[in-house]
Amino acid sequence: MTAEIINGKEIAKRKKQEIFVEVEELKKSGVTPGLAVILVGDNQASQTYVRSKQKTCKELGMHSVLIEYNESVSEEELLRKIEQLNIDGSIHGILVQLPLPDHISEMKVIETISPEKDVDGFHPVNIGRMMIGQEAFLSCTPYGILVLLKESGIELEGKHVVVVGRSNIVGKPVGQLLLNENATVTYCHSRTKGLEKLTQAADIIIAAVGKAGFITKDHVKQGAVVIDVGINRNSEGKLCGDVAFDEVKEVAGYLTPVPGGVGPMTITVLMYNTLKSARDSLSKLQRTNS
Ligand SMILES: Nc1nc2c(c(=O)[nH]1)N[C@@H](CN(C=O)c1ccc(C(=O)N[C@@H](CCC(=O)O)C(=O)O)cc1)CN2
């Protein structure tokens, strides 16, 4: 048996078409969704992702603003800019590209973004609301994974999901999102003992460890769904995930590739969150005026 490869690029393209139509509809009410992206320093990968976010905004007819700072920018200056953007009516979404230089507290930055414009879904208010099943901005990579699973027709209710990795931006929120879908969730991490035994019991594995080829065929039950969130470079400098793709595809039922799996969904969901924020601000305005 060979796994069905989930084509994230194709699903992202379809979703972007839907978003484009909804943006056009919203514009008829005089509101153009606006996204502000803050980039600090000259990390090459971050520059690529930010360019891609801007390009996607343009394709979808959204307004986008890029604010770039030198690596040495002070935390104070960055926070001041966020506060300005929080009250800028043309901006519905604010994101600060991560990672940030060591002298800037990521948590302080995230907490300064208004929860109503936190389209990355990283603010503790949005994380907390998501945890208790209330409406919130959902973090882009976890939400992207949920959309991929649903669009691929993969049932979640009652399924055993094993999340390998416990970062605040992927591991923890994706487990919680899938729990909200009535999956049974086990979290594993670097100190988990007997990892293979746990992953072998999984119907769905979410690999978010950040180590190239970490999940091998020995971790995977026949027919399981394997979602690869890793973005690593192998010894030849080639982009690869956390899953040993060639061997796992012989065992898994469904598998996401890297590139072309989860990655393209991250930016698509960001666009969706920005559209949602613009719509919410219009509704708020209409309520105030009525
Ligand atoms: N503020 C944020 N910072 C970061 C986030 C985030 O969601 N918000 N996530 C990552 C980077 N990221 C978006 O910002 C991101 C990563 C990967 C991709 C993607 O499409 N990957 C492609 C491969 C691209 C390549 O060739 O390098 C794929 O997997 O097919 C999009 C967005 C960390 N920072």
Closest CA to ligand 1's atom 16: 263
Does the annotation mark 108 as catalytic? Answer: no
Where do you find CATH 3.40.50.720 in the chain? 140-264
Distance CA 110, CA 169 (A): 12
With pLDDT > 70 as the criterion, what percentage of the chain qualifies? 100
Verify whether residue 42 is a known catalytic residue: no
- Distance, CA of 143 to chain centre: 6
Q: Quick check: 228 and 257 in contact, CB under 8 A?
A: yes
Give the residue range(s) of CATH 3.40.50.10860 domains in the chain.
Answer: 31-114
Q: In 150-162, which positions are buried (b, 16+ CB within 10 angstroms) versus exposed (e)?
A: ebbebebeebbbb
**What does the block give as tokens for 195?**
């990892």
Ligand 1 pocket residues where CB is under 6 Å: 48-49, 95-98, 120, 140-141, 231, 239, 258-260, 263-264, 266-267
Of the pLDDT bands very low, low, confident and very high (cuts 50, 70, 90), residue 221 is very high
Confidence grade of residue 235 (pLDDT, cut at 50, 70, 90): confident
- Pocket-testing residue among 54, 231, 234, 267, ligand 1, by greatest number of atoms within 8 A of Cβ: 231
pLDDT tens-place string over residues 122-153: 999 999 999 999 999 999 999 999 999 999 99
The chain-wide mean pLDDT, for the chain, equals 97
> Does domain 140-264 correspond to CATH entry 3.40.50.720?
yes
The pLDDT confidence band at residue 90, using thresholds 50, 70 and 90, is very high
Residue nearest to atom 23 of ligand 1 (CA): 259
| DSSP code per residue over 157-199 | TT-EEEEE---TTTHHHHHHHHHHTT-EEEEE-TT-SSHHHHH
Return the axis-axis angle of helices 140-151 and 8-27, rounded to nearest 10°.
110
**pLDDT-based confidence at 1, cuts 50/70/90?**
confident
| Nearest CA, atom 2, ligand 1 | 97
Q: What CATH number labels 31-114?
A: 3.40.50.10860
Q: Would you state the pLDDT for residue 8? A: 98
Cα(231) to centroid(ligand 1), Å: 8
Q: Is 228 a catalytic residue?
A: no
Report the pLDDT averaged over residues 38-55. 97
- The pLDDT assigned to 201 comes to 98
Q: 51 CA distance to ligand 1 centroid (A)?
A: 11
In sequence order, the 6+-apart residues with CB closer than 8 A to the CB of 136 are: 121, 125, 126, 127, 128, 129, 130
Question: Whose Cα sits closest to atom 22 in ligand 1?
Answer: 263
Three-state secondary structure call for residue 105? coil
Please compute the mean of the pLDDT values over residues 231-255 and round it to a whole number: 96
pLDDT (mean) for 89-113: 98
Q: What integer pLDDT is reported at residue 290 of this predicted model?
A: 87
Q: Would you say 133 is a known binding-site residue?
A: no
